[in-house]
Chains A and B, each alone.
Chain A
């Protein structure tokens, strides 16, 4: 997969400020087509309407968490190839293992900086 700054990105977080932070960081990295959703349910609906090049999701949201969203995306034949990065304050070993087993492409622990976000996005598309 090649990294394309034109690709649409879906940012999923129930905290508006975090969406704003990630959106600004992505803009700084050259991405312009950025959409957002407040939880997994809204994200899944948007993903069924539009093909995103990357999903960046928080874990702890209601009603559908990012972990549930990841599992549903990987179980859906039409969405399962979508690159998925978890950006979360959930930093226990079991969370990382569960996300890896569920098929996450990369995992960023909050708080994070622009360099980390850039590095993980590049790593996902370098694989």
Chain B
């Protein structure tokens, strides 16, 4: 890329030298004249660098077009408008069906608990009826399992698209922008909210019982200084 030379800006230098001794008053004509001098002095420079700038702008435009193509491959509107809302509806349906099943089962159990056994035949019939209600309510597990499978399939499809997108853009793991902690994340950290652990993770009731005993607590305290 060409650099500015003294002869390119000779007019501007002359203008500034001629006005060196002036007091602080500047007219509109002075400003216009200065702008004209500057434009004139830059013309040769801009002419020299134009092919380079044009080439770089074209490269940037090509990259933007390529990125747009990659984003379209990601099908973001399909994810936003169809897949994610549908997965949300499935999860809502799961919550709803498990709630209804739990309600039915608990009502049946509470009715059995509250019923006296003065009439053994009536009591046996009641228990049988309530047991059938409980079996029927447990059918929710089959439908829930199918709904969960649909949600898992959606998550896998989104994961595949995003992974392919990341790969095509050659984004390395270390390139992730630093994540700023949200209010919800800070609350979780400060109030030690991890949620339920998976099987084999977290501590068992036996572990908790050991930790609650004073001797074990002393050992734990030592670990934490």
How many inter-chain contacts with C-beta < 8 Å in the A-B complex? Answer: 72
Cα–Cα distance between A112 and B217 once the two chains are bound (Å): 23
Task: List CB contacts (< 8 Å) of A91-127 with chain B.
Answer: 91-98, 100, 106-110, 112, 116
Contact between chains at B194 and A109 (CB < 8 Å): no
Known: A90-B192, A96-B212. A20 touches B106 (CB 8 A): yes
Contact of B203 among A24, A109, A110 (CB under 8 A): A109
Contact between chains at B194 and A65 (CB < 8 Å): no
Contact between chains at A97 and B205 (CB < 8 Å): no
Residues of A within 8 A of B195 (CB): 60, 89-90
Contact between chains at A92 and B192 (CB < 8 Å): yes
Known: A24-B109, A97-B220, A100-B217. A60 touches B203 (CB 8 A): no
Contact between chains at A92 and B217 (CB < 8 Å): no
Contact between chains at A97 and B211 (CB < 8 Å): yes
Distance of A92 from chain B, by nearest CB (Å): 5
Residues of B within 8 A of A109 (CB): 202-205, 208
B110 interfacial contact with A, CB 8 Å = yes
Interface residues of B (CB under 8 A from A): 99, 102-103, 106, 109-110, 113, 191-197, 201-205, 207-208, 211-212, 217, 220, 224
Interface residues of A (CB under 8 A from B): 17, 20-21, 24, 27-28, 59-60, 65, 67-68, 89-98, 100, 106-110, 112, 116
**28 residue pairs A–B, Cβ–Cβ below 8 Å:** A17-B99, A21-B106, A59-B193, A65-B193, A67-B192, A68-B191, A89-B195, A89-B197, A90-B192, A90-B194, A90-B195, A91-B203, A91-B204, A92-B197, A92-B202, A93-B211, A93-B220, A95-B192, A95-B194, A96-B207, A97-B217, A98-B192, A100-B212, A108-B205, A108-B208, A109-B202, A109-B203, A109-B205
